[in-house]
Amino acid sequence: MPEDNSVIDFQSVNKYFYLQHQKTLKELVDAAFRRRKTLERVHALKNVSFLVKKGETVGVIGNNGAGKSTLLTMIAGVSSPTSGKVDVKGRISPLIELGAGFHPELTGRENIYLNGVILGIKEGEIKNNIGNIIDFSELQLRFIDMPVKHYSSGMYMRLAFSVAVFTNPDILLVDEILAVGDVAFQHKCLNRMAEFKKQGVTIIFVSHSLATVENFCSRVIYLKQGVVAYDGEVQGGISLYKSDVHEI
């Protein structure tokens, strides 16, 4: 990498993927008869290059389908580029979809461990932090040893988020997660993220809420149909995005 303090480095990254319209043989045969497309090639990211330094808070904005989520999956390492190079340094913690790794039959406590190791936390670390995790989730103690299928969706979400914020990450990936939960808890999450920011954690923040991006981020990347249309200070990016939206 060119500089020592860069943590994410995208070098002319292109990402193609195939939209598979048919998942079963029946659909495939059907489509062949009707001469429909069976595979659609999508150019999701077009020659994307950027560099994120340690401690930066970058907001990624753009319309649906502009490639924001694809960008996140590539930073997270779950999806590889078709061409170009992606370099990411440090421990990544995605604030994942509400309890993606949760199992409804397991108790809250068991799910904390399960989700923790999925996110790459050591078992000992979870053990040391379990009190803090439960405190942060604001779940009553009588619920924590109950299967999570009895939880309300709010409780579910709070538990999932609490595990994620205790992962001690170098890079935090946030995808629209704050859109859910009650106002008080959202506020708490934002505070926690501000703490991360102070500790020098790099945050990549994908959001449709321009106000949150404006308050929170120090830099904006605006994606437009897979192309980086803007990369720089926050105000400029947001106003460009707004003017694009108004044109439509």
Partner 1 sequence: MTIIKYWSLLKHLTSREIKARYKQSFLGFFWIVLNPFCQMLIMSFVFSHLLRISEIGVPYPIFIYAGLLPWIFFQNSLSSAMSNLVENASLIKKVYFPREILILSTLLAKMFDFFLSSTVFILLMIFFQVKITQYWPLFIIIFAIQFLFTYGLGLLLALGNLFYRDVQYLFNLVLTVWFYLTPVLYATEFFPERYRWIFKFNPMSVFINAYREVILSQGQINWGSLGIGLLLAVVVYLISYTIFKKMEGTFADVV
The residues binding partner 1 (CB under 8 A) are 17-18, 20, 23-26, 28, 73, 76-80, 92, 94, 96-97, 100-101, 103, 105-106, 110, 113-114, 117-120, 122-123, 147
> Residue 104 corresponds to which tokens in the numbers above?
């409804």
Beta-sheet strands, E only, within the chain: 6-20, 39-53, 57-61, 83-88, 92-95, 171-175, 202-206, 219-224, 227-232
Task: Work out how close the CB of 216 gets to partner 1 at its nearest, in angstroms, rounded to a whole number.
Answer: 21
Judged on CB neighbours under 10 Å (0-12, 13-18, 19+), 4 is exposed
* CB nearer to partner 1: pick between 207 and 237: 207
Interstrand relation of 219-224 and 57-61 (parallel, antiparallel or unpaired): parallel
- Cβ 139 to partner 1 shortest distance, Å: 20
Among 158, 124, 114, CA closest to 138? 158
Closest to partner 1 by CB, 26 or 198: 26
DSSP, collapsed to helix, strand or coil, labels residue 188 as helix
Minimum CB–partner distance for residue 203 and partner 1 (Å): 16
Q: Which is nearer to partner 1, 12 or 20 (CB)?
A: 20
Residue placing its CB nearer to partner 1 in the complex, 171 or 234: 171
β-bridge pairing 171-175 and 202-206: parallel
Nearer to partner 1, 78 or 184 (CB): 78
- Kindly state the smallest distance separating residue 125's Cβ from partner 1, in Å: 10
For tokens 């108790």, the residue is: 107
Dig out the tokens for 181 from the structure.
């939960």
CB of 239 to partner 1, least distance (A): 31
